[in-house]
Structure formats: C-alpha cells, structure tokens
Amino acid sequence: MAQLDVVMAQIDPLVGDIDGNAAMVVEHCRAALQAHAAQVVVFPELTLTGYPPEDLLLRSSVAVRVERALERLCRELPPDTWVVLGYPRRGKRGLCNVAGLIHGGEIVAEYAKMELPNYQVFDEKRYFVPGDAPCVVAIDGFRVALSICEDIWHERPTALAREAGAELVLNINASPFHVGKHLERRGVVERRAVASGVGVIYVNQVGGQDELVFDGGSMAIGRDGTLAVLAPHFEAGLYPVRVVRDATGAVALVPGSVTPELNLHATVYAALVTGVRDYVNKNRFRGVVLGLSGGIDSALTLAIAVDALGPQRVEAVMMPFHYTAAMSIEDAAGQAATLGVQFRVIPIAPMFDAFMAALDEEFAGRAVDTTEQNIQARCRGVLLMAISNKKGCLVLTTGNKSEMAVGYSTLYGDMAGGFDVLKDVPKTLVFELARYRNGIAPVIPQRVIDRPPSAELAPDQKDEDSLPPYAVLDCILERYVERDMSANAIIDEGFDPDTVRRVVRLVDLNEYKRRQAPVGVRITRKAFGRDRRYPITSGWQPGD
C-alpha cells in the first residue's frame, strides 16, 4: 500500500521579513523530516512575505528579495523533501499570488491563485492578477493539486483540478479569525472534498498581524467529508497527515490527531492574547503600560496583557481624581498584586488644576460641562504616553467596541495609546470574558465585575446615565455595524425607535474619532478599521 507522509507547518511568519521567513521554512522542514519523516511539508499562503503584505507588494525590491529567498530555499531545503509554500511572483500577465513546489533543489511547479478575495479585510485585486489554470503534479505516486485559500471557497478551482487528474488537494491559507470562522472553514472544506471526490489538506497560519489574528486550525478532510486531522487553534507547530492508496487504488487520509474545538470564550480570549503578544513582540516593544482604573475594561485588558507577555513586562498605573471611588483604588491595587505586575498610583489633581488655571480666562463665564471631564482623561493620557516614551513600552488603551461605536471616549485621553485590546469586543462580551478568565483562576476582583460601569469623571457617574443599557446597546450595534441593517429595519425588530435613532446617529457622528483610534484585535466579522469604511463628512441620514 503506497503512502505519503504530509506535514502541515502551521507557522507564524512576520510580514516583510522575507529572509527571516525563509530561514523559518528551512528550520521547520528539517524538524518535520526528523520528527515525522515528512515526504511533503506544506506552509501557508504568502509564507515568504507574510500576510497581508499590503503595499509592500508595490515595492520593486520585493521581487529581488523573494528571488533571493527562493534561491536560498533551493540550496538549503532537504533535497528529497517536497515543500509547498506561498510567495508573490510576477508572470506575463502581472503579479500573482503563487504556491510553489520545491524539490531536489529546484522549483518544480508553480500555481497562481484563481480566486482573489476583495471583501471584508481582503484587498487582493489591488495587487494580484488571477491565475487561469490548475496545477496538478505527481508526488511519490500521488496526483496532487496546489490550491490557495479563497480557491477552496469556490467550486471552479477544485473542479478543474479534479478534471486534471488530482487525487489530493493541498490548500495553503492565510485565513484570519473571527468568531465562528473555524466552523465556516470546516464546512466549506467538507463540501468541496465531497463534491469533487478528493481529499483536502488545508494549512492555515497562526499569529497576529496588526488588527488581524490568524488562528491556525489546519485540517485534513477525506473525500467523503470525514475529518481525519485537526491541528490546534492559536498554536504554531508541525502536524502530520498520512495519505494512503488502498487496495482498490483509492486515495484516503488515515485518521490522526483531532484537537477538541475551543468554546466561544476560550477562542476569543486566545485571539486577544495572540494579538497582543504578536503586536508587542513583532514591533519589539519592551513591554506594555496601561491605566488601571478599577473598572472592568482595564481589568480584563490587564489580565490579557499578563497572559500574553508575563507580569514582568506589564506595568499598571492608577491615576485617581476627586471622583475616583476608594473601591476603585483598592480593586486596582488588589488585581495588580494578584497578577504580580509593577503598579503605580499617580494622582492627576495637580495636573488638572494646572490646566484649569491656564484656561481660566478662556473658560470665564462658561458653565462646567464635559470639557472638564475630558481634561481629566487627557491628563491620564499624557502620563501614560510619557511613561511609554521614557521606558520604550507600548500604551494599551482599554476602550471596548460599544464605547468606540458611540464615541464614549476622549480623543487624546483614554484613546491615547498604541493598541486597543478590546476595540472589537462589545461590552456585554467584556463581562463574559472576565468571568471566563476568573474561571481559570480568579485574577479580576469580583466587585469589578458586579459594580455598574462608570468612567468616574463626575460625581456618582454611571455609563447608563449617558447610554442605553449595554444589553440593548450591543444588540442595536450588532445589527447596525456588523449586519448593515438600517435604522428602520432595527426598529421593525421591536427596538425603541428613539433609542435606535440616537444610537445610529452617535455611530455616524463618531467616525472621526475612530479614524484616530489605535488598532486593535479583530474578533467579529466586521470590525472598525479594515472592514468598515465610512466617510467622516457626510449628509447621510438614518432611516430605511
């Protein structure tokens, strides 16, 4: 019985580090050969450039560096191993997103991606031209087709490969995470395998790249739709798949390791940890600093930061003012001690008073309003940015998606920083994640979870003094922001008309703030940033 030992190399490349990514390919191939006697090692889409390389692809030097990396791979890869990896390559028709097959010191085949995604976070038609033909090669007695990411979501590429004689499809991916995406992928691959009658080995990358997080979950699915192998989510590694030809001549995938799926909260939490870890490490920050207010958003952000980086690389700063409750200071200090992070208390009253004295004439005769609240937030932003500059650490902001949507935040205040961990996490999910994290080990004071949310910028202030209840707000935002429903359509689902119109108007008005906000981890299918691009200056009115 003939067999083919394939290893799925679920790696975390660095965008733009072409030489470093090539070295990673060599290292992992040698490890796959030693640990699994690999005949074939399969790497993700655009392995050499990392994904997404964006406008780096427009630089002429990319081609030079990719060619140099390919020459190195041909020299250094084990000559008897077949290696599949992705890279950009210019052909007669233009730049293509390519899967190359290297064996015996040379590139023996190249396949150009046929289906170029141009929706949500994808913008491939800006850079690439589509391929127009399948690529089927003989690998140690098996007829194998090369395929890239979006190709598997459409019938035509796999059907053409099958017509060309393919018995197995190797599909390389850079498929970013959002809630539920892993189940979508698995369903698509199952349908494609059954419809075409060929097994599919689907290899995805892991790691964070700016706001995108890649969750891995590489898999092997037989021609009957049976899941043979499932790699872990959010874990880099080498995962073997054995392909055999049985006595009837049919190609089958031998059942192997199937990692249990994570639940919703475990998946989202892992995505947030991955996003923070890779953003900080890939950008070479020494560590992070954040304002720890005693509220739930900063408490959850602190827990994520420690899980991502370790306590020695995290600093928390409590910056109390006249309206800061004693319990907020106690809870912040208690959580910092529990997690073992560096903790400082720096009161902002002297700075606030200095600002007010300087503005005395400007403000003369005008009543106190949110201006004074914003000055408090901006005092805190100045302190955190100063610590960041002096110590070479990144400021983590703590605003959640609900606040970012309606502008419940202060430019150059609580929005001042480099990375917003919870930017795509609705407030209701913030509470759920805090409870989830405490279920692993109690690191967030229960009082922080139980007390009503407050910015503590005014006496006895509560978030719901200014906003609808978060349970209502998040339902409206999910429909308007993520599902693009109109105000009238949301009202028709039974929501209060005045509340809906107010929320929708706030979302539209605060686009200017979001344009100036830090990047943050994307966990939903439509986040603020790459996914959702609306004009700041607009005469659009909510309605139907």
Catalytic residues: 45, 113, 149
Place of tokens 């490969």: 161
The residue type at 520:
G
Q: How many angstroms separate the CA atoms of 418 and 345, rounded? A: 22
User: Which of 495, 507, 488 minimizes the C-alpha distance to 469?
Assistant: 495
CB neighbours of 469 closer than 8 A, spacing ≥ 6? Answer: none
Cα 260 from chain centroid (whole Å): 21
Judging by DSSP bridges, how do beta strands 199-204 and 212-215 pair with one another? Answer: unpaired
DSSP 278: H
CA distance 196 to 191: 8
CB 383 within 8 A of CB 364: no
Indicate if the alpha-carbon torsion angle 117, 118, 122, 126 is positive or negative.
positive
Beta bridge partners of 95: 90
Cis amide prior to 52 (ω within 30 degrees): yes
Of 240, 158, 160, 147, nearest to 191 by C-alpha is 158
Cα–Cα distance list, 536 to 335, 399, 413 (Å): 39, 20, 21
DSSP conformation letters of 60-103: THHHHHHHHHHHHHHHHS-TTSEEEEEEEEEETTEEEEEEEEEE
AA letter at 442:
P
CA distance 170 to 203: 8
As a whole number of angstroms, the distance between CA 393 and CA 390 comes to: 8
Q: Give CA angle at 503 (501, 505), nearest 5°.
A: 65
